[in-house]
Amino acid sequence: MLNIRRIALCMLGLLPAAIALTEPTFAAPTGEVKIGLAAEPNTFDPHLTVGRNTQIFIVNVYDGLTARDAQGHVVPALAESWKRLNPTTWQFALRKGVKFHNGDDFNAECVKFTLDRATHPETKATIGSELSTIAGTEIVDPFTVNVITKTPDFLLPVRLGELFGLMLSPKHTSAMGKEAIATKPNGTGPFKLVTWAKNEQMVLEANESYWRGAPKVKKIIVRPILDDAARIAALQAGEVDLIAPVPHARIAELKRNDKLVIKTIPAPRIFHVTIDVRKPPFDNVKVRQALNYAADVNAILKSLYFGYGTRLATVVDKGALGYDPSVQPYPFDPKKAKALLAEAGFPNGFETEFDSFTGSIADHSKPAEAIVGYLQKVGVKAKQNVFEFAAFGPRRVQNRTAPLFIYSIGDAYLEPSWVIRWMTQGGLGMHYKNPKLDEMLTRIEATDDPKKRAPLYGDVQKLIKEEAPFIFLYQADAVFGMSSRIDYTPRPDETQWLYPLGLKG
């Protein structure tokens, strides 16, 4: 009897604990992580960002209407849902109860203010070209907005996500002024910017009332460490826990260090050689195919990237929506290349020029040199020109590029149509046009559901491979070095999203 009473008492005593366990509890953010990056943002003003390095980082302080998950799928963020009302009107239903770091409420007014600011000529937004389809924003009710576009824009929900749709607080932005917003941002994102001494360090602190739940790490210190060797040294010495990027040449050595973890992920930068299809002999598809058979792209990946890259069959990258692995790359087959050239009437090859450049975000001159070497072996005597990137720019703008030139495009949208439209724009040295391809893309762009859109890209990839308006190359891996005490998974779209970053143990 006594025992039963005792047990009952004990159980009563445990009851509060049991209740506590059933309630969802978010662990409070703890600890500190130090990060060493090759480049820091140029500004926290989302409309004046320059370069991917800024766009992939400032998202930690802000939110867009949409976001991406770890696999790269578009998911709701400040907008809970969205739909196209008519070809040129997108409606976004906004999340309620979200607050900016300073306590301001997020609502439809913020969306209108932000997009009006981004598209106003006075802002001189550097990202203006990516939002040029927007005609205006209408507030339907405090948590519903309509964004009207000049022409149908199926990509608008992605544009208004982490890429170019980071939301500002009207009150804070107006009060701060244009210069101050660069270093004193007020977003709704998982981290608050506490201090930032440019070229020295930046301190981020967890936003404990973040709408997704508080981040795991309380404090993040970001140090710019420009030099590759010094950045790796900082990781080896334990001064920082996470570094990016790591040069491919150092991966093998760092992997042998059991205190470090190296993670790689294909970066959505698509390397390719543009062929000027207007100029003979490149108007002949057999010649273009021959060029694709001639280059041993796998060998280039092996020697220049130490194997940390992905051979691409077309200009659709592996992480993009609708990437079709069944479309196989051209094999390396110099005999076939020579045969095709002979069929096209060039049994002894021909002479041409090949433009390349140095001083851009990635190395383009060494791969170019290798490709030129392969082309020469099948009789295509290409003369390589090497420009400084800034000097190469005007050549492209004025359409004065050589019949062959190497380039790469970062597929920030992870959407093949965006890449292909850009590559077939009829400018910047890219002159391939195909009404059939246009028609296929138009049909894809009218399909709002990504799941239905994805399979439609299969035929596009087959067509592009067959037509070969480019020498299809590869995408290189993005490489992250980290200490074994942290847990971090790089995202396929390059975004340095620190929200899920955690400490082990």
Partner 1 sequence: MRAYIAARLGTAVLVVLGVSVVSFVLTFLTGDPAEIMLPPGATAAQIAKFRTEWGFADPLPVQYWRFLRRAVHGDFGVSLQHGQSSLPLIAARLPATFQLTMTAMVLAIVLAVPLGVLAATHRGGKIDLLTMGVALFGQSVPNFWLAIMMILLFAVSWGWLPTSGRGGWTHVVMPAAAIAINLMALLTRLVRTTMIEVLSEDFVRTGRSKGLREVAVVLRHALPNALIPLVTVVGLQFGYILGGAVVIETIFTWPGVGLFTIQAIMNRDYPVVQASVFILATAVVLINLAVDLLYVWLDPRIRVT
Residues near partner 1 (CB under 8 A) = 42-43, 45, 48, 50-52, 121, 124, 126-130, 132, 164, 178-179, 182, 197-201, 223-227, 229-230, 233-234, 236-237, 239, 359, 388-391, 393-394, 396-397, 399, 409-410, 412, 418, 422, 425, 427-428
The residue type found at 371 is I
| Minimum distance, C-beta of residue 323 to partner 1, in the bound complex (Å) | 19
Closest contact distance (angstroms) between CB of 360 and partner 1 is 9
Least spacing, CB of residue 264 vs partner 1, in Å: 22
Which residues, in sequence order, are bridge partners of residue 34? Answer: 221
CB 242 within 8 A of CB 481: yes
Return the number of the residue (209 or 484) whose C-beta is nearest partner 1: 484
Residue closer to partner 1 by CB (options 242, 380) is 242
Least distance to partner 1, CB of residue 119, Å: 13
Residues recorded for the chain = 505
By C-beta, is 216 or 396 nearer to partner 1? 396
Closer to partner 1 by Cβ: residue 281 or 410:
410
Q: State the angle between helix axes of 435-445 and 457-467 in degrees (0 to 180), rounded to the nearest 10.
A: 160
SS3 437: helix
Best CA proximity match to 277, nearest among 448, 21, 468: 468
Q: Which is nearer to partner 1, 233 or 342 (CB)?
A: 233
Residue closer to partner 1 (CB basis): 379 or 469: 469
Say if residues 194 and 205 touch (Cβ distance below 8 Å): yes
Q: Which is nearer to partner 1, 51 or 331 (CB)?
A: 51
- List the one residue out of 196, 176, 200 whose CA is nearest residue 117: 176
Q: Nearest-CA neighbor of 107 among 192, 25, 21, 168?
A: 168
Residue 243 vs 287, nearer CB to partner 1 = 243
> Given the complex with partner 1, which of 91 and 236 has the nearer CB atom?
236
Tell me whether residue 52 or residue 112 sits nearer to partner 1 (CB atom).
Answer: 52
In angstroms, what is the minimal distance from the CB of 10 to partner 1? 53
Q: Minimum CB separation from partner 1 for residue 22, in Å? A: 47
Helices and strands, number each (H, E), in the chain: 17, 21
Measured distance CA(330)–CA(349) in Å, rounded: 20
Nearest to 281 by CA among 334, 367, 340: 340
Residue 341 amino acid letter: L
Closest CA relative to residue 357, chosen from 266, 237, 265, 271: 271
Q: How far is the CB of 120 from partner 1 (least distance, A)?
A: 13
> In this complex, which beta carbon is closest to partner 1, that of residue 391 or of residue 446?
391
- CA dist list (Å): 19 to 9, 11, 14, 115, 209: 16, 12, 9, 46, 23
Q: How far is the CB of 123 from partner 1 (least distance, A)?
A: 11
Q: Give dist(CA 80, CA 73) in Å, integer.
A: 15
Residue 255 C-beta: closest distance to partner 1, Å: 17
Rounded CA-CA distance 291/380 in Å is 8
Contacts of 423 (CB under 8 A, 6+ apart): 272, 274, 315, 409, 430, 432, 469, 470
Question: How far apart, in whole angstroms, are the C-alpha atoms of residue 314 and residue 469?
Answer: 10
Query: Smallest distance from the beta carbon of 224 to partner 1, in angstroms?
Result: 6
Which residue, 86 or 398, has its beta carbon nearer to partner 1? 398
**Minimum gap (Å) between residue 115 Cβ and partner 1:** 17
Instruction: Fill in the amino acid letter for 473.
Output: L
Burial class (CB in 10 A: 0-12, 13-18, 19+), 228: middle
Amino acid at 480: F
CA neighbours closer than 13 Å in the CB half-sphere of residue 98: 31
What is the closest distance, in whole angstroms, from the C-beta atom of residue 500 to partner 1 in the complex?
Answer: 26
Taking the complex as a whole, the smallest distance from the CB of residue 413 to partner 1 amounts, in Å, to 8
Contact 494, 56 (CB under 8 A): yes
Cα-based distances in Å from 121 to 127, 132, 390, 434: 12, 11, 25, 34
Nearer to partner 1, 168 or 341 (CB): 168
